[in-house]
Amino acid sequence: MLMRYNFLQRYLFLLSCYDMTLLFFPHHSIALVVDSPQFFNRLAESFISRINARFIVLLWGDKSSLNSKAVMDIPVYDYNDITVLGRENRNALCYSSEQGRQGVFEAITPEDVATLIYTSGTSGTPKGVMLTHRNLLHQINNMWEIVPAVPGDRFLSMLPPWHAYERSAEYFIFTHGAQQIYSSVKYLKADLQKYQPHYVFSVPLVYETLYSSIQRQISSSSRARKTVALALIKISLLYMEAKKIFEGTVLSNNPVKPSSISYMFNCLWARIVAALLWPLHNLAKMLFYKKIHSTVGISKAAISGGGSLPMHVDKFFEAIGIKVQNGYGLTETSPAVAARRPFCNVRGSTGVYAFID
């Protein structure tokens, strides 16, 4: 996120993962901002040797705990120090120039760098990805085609805010008047039941965890109930497969386009199969899936990205009526490149390309 302090023109960059840190970039030097002495000591050897640090801001912890060899002669400020300095210098900064006295500040353009997100890369060495305001605004303006949110919708997130996926998702959520709920692996199940979110932004591993949890619940039930549940799930899988075929929303492994007659026959046969299986699928919804829905709590869609969504997980949630929309992206693309739409949710794919401004 770009934050231009009107007179100092400092840039706030958000780094990610194990080696993350917050960096303020003035014109000629860098201020390294970390959240604990231990974190700073882990980063110091890698970062301090490569930057011209002017000062260090420590948000939590004792300044004496910092690695003295890494700090050397660099000034160190804690949060209280910054608060005091800010109060003392506010008026001086505001009235230090004619522009400040008139309230005229430098404009920010869409092509200005908004953030520098560090990604570990294949080699493990952090690499800074520069994203502009236009990059992030593209996500905000076009993600509605993927997630048609309305004011008041509840979103549950588990990803850290320095992750590009979560970053753009949060901007989208806030600009559309929706509610943001932060959770973790430990409290996910309880939060899903408590808040009943309309949408979830997360990675495939979370949906695999939910899938495994549901399977364990089925396995721990009585033999009769388990047998009936597994049988109905298989029927629902067959029903959805047939339904997708006659709707034309299924991937084909055949590189040769079928003839019109063959296509019509397949669609007709799929429609017949779906019609025969529909009563049992509907029965499964009333007997089993309704309870699963109340446990999972996702009423509109689960958005998956940041990894490969296993096909068996994709099929299962589709069969029980929980929509999962898979997507693909990179930190360098801020991040969404393609995603499945609500009206064209083709299982096993990452959807179509995001719109280009």
CATH label of the domain that carries residue 347: 3.40.50.980
The proportion of the chain whose per-residue pLDDT surpasses 70, expressed as a percent, equals 81
Task: Tell me if 40 is assigned to some domain.
Answer: yes
> Last residue of some domain: 73, 108, 143?
108
Task: Tell me if 263 is assigned to some domain.
Answer: yes
Mean pLDDT for 244-255 is 86
**Which of 255, 247, 252, 246 is CA-nearest to residue 345?**
247
**Which of 206, 202, 183, 208 is CA-nearest to residue 303?**
202
Task: Tell me if 22 is assigned to some domain.
Answer: yes
**Which of 140, 142, 152 is CA-nearest to residue 177?**
152
Task: Tell me if 323 is assigned to some domain.
Answer: yes
Give the pLDDT band (50/70/90) at residue 5. very low
Task: Tell me if 245 is assigned to some domain.
Answer: yes
216 and 265 housed in the same domain: yes
- Tell me what the pLDDT averaged over the chain comes to: 83
Domain count, the chain: 2
Least confident interval from 67-76, 158-167, 303-312: 67-76
Give the pLDDT band (50/70/90) at residue 149. very high
pLDDT over threshold 70, residue 210? yes
151 and 199 housed in the same domain: yes
Give the pLDDT band (50/70/90) at residue 275. very high
Domain that holds residue 209: 135-353
311 and 181 housed in the same domain: yes
> Last residue of some domain: 41, 73, 108?
108
- What pLDDT, on a 0 to 100 scale, did the predictor assign at position 202? 95
Give the pLDDT band (50/70/90) at residue 272. very high
Give the pLDDT band (50/70/90) at residue 36. low
Q: Which amino acid is it at 342?
A: P
299 and 335 housed in the same domain: yes
142 and 99 housed in the same domain: no
Give the pLDDT band (50/70/90) at residue 311. very high
**Site of tokens 């505001």:** 94
pLDDT over threshold 50, residue 167? yes
pLDDT over threshold 80, residue 70? no
> Last residue of some domain: 89, 108, 127?
108
190 and 273 housed in the same domain: yes
Give the pLDDT band (50/70/90) at residue 35. low
C-alpha–C-alpha distance, residues 104 and 25, integer Å:
22
Q: Which amino acid is it at 201?
A: F
- What pLDDT, on a 0 to 100 scale, did the predictor assign at position 25? 43
Under 8 Å between Cβ of 300 and 199? yes
Higher pLDDT among residues 352 and 318, named by residue: 318
308 and 167 housed in the same domain: yes
Higher pLDDT among residues 88 and 34, named by residue: 88
Task: Tell me if 130 is assigned to some domain.
Answer: no
Least confident interval from 102-106, 183-187, 196-200, 231-235: 102-106
100 and 188 housed in the same domain: no
Task: Tell me if 97 is assigned to some domain.
Answer: yes
Q: Which residues pair with 33 in a beta bridge?
A: 22, 57
Backbone angles phi, psi at 223, to 5 degrees: -60, -45
264 and 160 housed in the same domain: yes
Q: Give the torsion sign (CA, 97, 101, 104, 105).
A: positive
- What pLDDT, on a 0 to 100 scale, did the predictor assign at position 66? 78
Mean pLDDT for 209-224 is 94
**DSSP string across 137-184:** HHHHHHGGGTS---TT-EEEE-S-TTSHHHHHHHHHHHHTT-EEEE--
Whether this prediction's pTM lies above 0.85 is answered by no
- What pLDDT, on a 0 to 100 scale, did the predictor assign at position 11? 32
Q: Which residues pair with 128 in a beta bridge?
A: 118
Mean pLDDT for 122-135 is 82
Whether residue 75 has a cis bond before it, omega within 30° of 0: no
177 and 99 housed in the same domain: no
70 and 149 housed in the same domain: no
Task: Tell me if 234 is assigned to some domain.
Answer: yes
171 and 309 housed in the same domain: yes
Q: Which amino acid is it at 278?
A: W
Structure tokens at 245: 């075929």
Under 8 Å between Cβ of 22 and 132? no
Q: Which residues pair with 132 in a beta bridge?
A: 113
Least confident interval from 33-42, 228-237, 265-274: 33-42
- What pLDDT, on a 0 to 100 scale, did the predictor assign at position 257? 81
